[in-house]
Amino acid sequence: MADFDLVLQGHVVLPDRMVEKGYVAVAEGVIKEVGQGTPPQARERHLLGEALIFPGAIDAQVHSLSQKNQEDFIWSTRTAAAGGVTTIVDMPYDEGDLICSADAVKRKIAHAGAQARVDFALYGTVDPLEGAVRIAEQAEAGVAAFKFSTFGTDPKRFPRISAPLMAECFAEVARTGLTAGVHNENDEYVRAAMERVKASGITDWRAHGLSRPPLTELLAMTEIYEIGVATGCPAHVVHCSLGRGYEIAAGYRAQGYQATVECLIHYLMLDEENDARRLGGRSKCNPPIRPRAEVEKLWRQLANGNVTLLSTDHVSWSIDRKTNPDMLANASGLPGLETMIPLFVKGALERGVPLTWGAKLMAENPARHFSLDHIKGALTPGRDADITVLTPEPYVYEAAKTGNNVAGWSPFDGVELPYRVAGTYLRGKLVYDGTTVLAEPGSARFVRPPERRVIAGAQA
C-alpha cells in the first residue's frame, strides 16, 4: 500500500536551492518528504519532467473588496488559484467597511469564509478618530498584521495616519508581536505636486508620475522606519518603486532594526516611458510606475537580497474606472493575482536571477512576516501541502480569455509568458488543473498567527 496520497516529480524550487529531478510527497494534506531521484509510489503520482514545482505563493497584498459589487472573495480567490497563489492576505480598506475593530474582523472572516477557494489571512487598521484603542482586540480576533498610510486617499475608507498617531499605533502593534505595514507617500508633498500638475494642464499618461515624484516616497519611508525605531515595532513598507528605497531599508537593517520592504510585480515588469504611455489609466497605481532604468535597479536590489516580499497589491477595478483620458481621474491599482508567478519566472530567466528567489519572496518570507510559518510558506515536512506546478508552455496572456478573473483586463494583456501555471494544490488537493478552478466557494480556510498573550507592554 502506498505511503503517500500524492507525489509530484519535477524541478523543485526551494528558497536556497533547486532540486533537479526532485519530488514532493504528500499525505493527509501536509508535506511529508522532499527528495531527489526515483519518486516513491503514491495513490496519485505525476512525473512532470521539466515542470517547476514551487511552494504555493502567499500574496501579501490583495484588495478583494475595494469596489462594491465587483470582485469580492468569490473572484479574488478564484483568480489566486489560477495563478498558483494558495493564500491571500487581504487589505482592510473595503468600500463601505473599514476593518478597524474585532467585530469588523469577525464579520469579514465570516463573509470571506463563505466564498474563499484558497486560504486567506487579514490585515487590520485603525479609524483615525478612534486612535489605537482597537489594535489589541483585532490581534486577538486573528489579523496577521496592521496597515496604515502616510497618504490619505479618502478620509474614511483609506485615511492618512498622522505621525503622532502612527507612533501611538506602532507602540500598540509592538505589544501584539505583529508587524506594522505602511503605504509610503508623503501626503503634503503629493498634494503640492498634484496641484502643480493640474496647473500645468498636463492630463495624459505623464501626469501621474509627475504628481508623485521620488521624494514623496523616500521621505515617507524614512518617517516610517524612524517611527519603528522609536517604538520598537517591526516597520514594513508595503510597496517601493525605487532602488533608493531598498537601500534605505537595508541601511536600517544593518543598524539592527526590523525594517522590511515589499516589491510589487508590476514594478518589476512595467515602465513609465513605454507601458504607462501605452496603457494610460490602466497603468495607474500608487506609488506610480517608474522609468525603465528604475525597473532594472529593482531587479538588482532583488538579486542582492534587499527585497523582503514580492506581491501584487491586486485590485480588480472595472474597466470604466481605468480608462478616463484624464490620468489623475482614474482609480489606482492593478490586477495581478493570475500572473504574478509566471511574470516573476519570465523576468528572472531573462536576467539570470535564480528562481529560488521566487520561493523565498512569494512563500517563505511572507509566511514568516505574517507569523503563518507554522503551517504555510515552504515545501517542508509538516507544512501544508500548498504547491504550484508550472510547465514550460509559452503562451500569450489575455485576461478576458481565461475565465478566471472578474476584471476582464490586465496591464499584462499581450505579454508572452514562458511558463504556464498547470496545477495548484491547496493542502494536497488540486484546486486548479491548468484550465479550470476546481475549488468550490467556501472550501478554503481563514489562517491566522498562533494566539499570543500580551502582558505589561510586552509580548509573552
C-alpha cell at 236: 514594513
The one-letter amino acid code at 363 reads A
What's the start-to-end Cα distance of the chain, in Å? 46
C-alpha cell at 442: 467556501
pLDDT number for residue 344 = 98
On whether the CB atoms of residues 88 and 77 are closer than 8 A, the answer is: yes
User: What is the Cα–Cα distance from 361 to 408, expressed in whole angstroms?
Assistant: 27
Burial of residue 296 (CB within 10 Å: 0-12, 13-18, 19+) is middle
CATH superfamily of 56-369: Metal-dependent hydrolases (3.20.20.140)
C-alpha cell at 176: 501584539
166 phi/psi in degrees, rounded to 5: -60, -45
Write down the residue that cell numbers 536600517 correspond to.
Answer: 252
Q: Is the pTM of this model over 0.85?
A: yes
For the chain, what are the domain ranges?
56-369
Over the chain (460 residues), what is each successive 10-residue block's mean pLDDT?
90 98 98 96 97 98 96 98 98 95 98 98 97 98 98 81 97 98 97 97 98 98 98 98 98 98 98 98 98 98 98 98 97 98 98 98 98 98 98 98 97 98 98 98 98 49
pLDDT number for residue 157 = 74
Orientation of helix 292-303 relative to helix 243-254, angle to 10° = 30
Orientation of helix 187-200 relative to helix 214-231, angle to 10° = 170
Pure H helices in 142-275:
163-176, 187-200, 206-211, 214-231, 243-254, 265-269
